Structure 1
Amino acid sequence: MFDDQGREPGTDDRRARVGAVRRRLVREGPPRTRGGAADFETISVPEHTCDRLRDLLIAEGAQTVVEIGLAYAGSALAIGEALVTVAPPRPRHIIVDPYQERDWSLAGWDLLRSAGLDSIATLLSAPSSIALPRLLAEGLVADAAFVDGSHRFHEVFVDLYFLRKIVRPGGLIVLDDVRSPSVRTALCYYERNLGWTVIADAFPREPEAPTAAVGDPRAEPAPRCAAVRLPDPSFEPPFEEFRTF
Structure 2
Amino acid sequence: MKHALIIGASGGVGGAIVGQLQAGHWQVSRLSRSGDGLDLTDEISVQDHMDRISGPYDLILIATGALEINGARPEKSLSQISAQAMMDQFALNTVGPALVLRHAKRLLPKERPSIIAALSARVGSIGDNHLGGWTGYRASKAALNQVIRCAAIELARTHKQAACVALHPGTVATKFTERYQTRHPTVTPAQAAQNLLRVITKLTPEQSGRFFDWAGKEIPW
TM-score, normalised to structure 2, is: 0.44
Q: Quick check: which has more Rg, 1 or 2?
A: 1
Q: Using structure 1 for the length normalisation, give the TM-score.
A: 0.41
Higher relative contact order (CA 8 A, sep 6+): 2
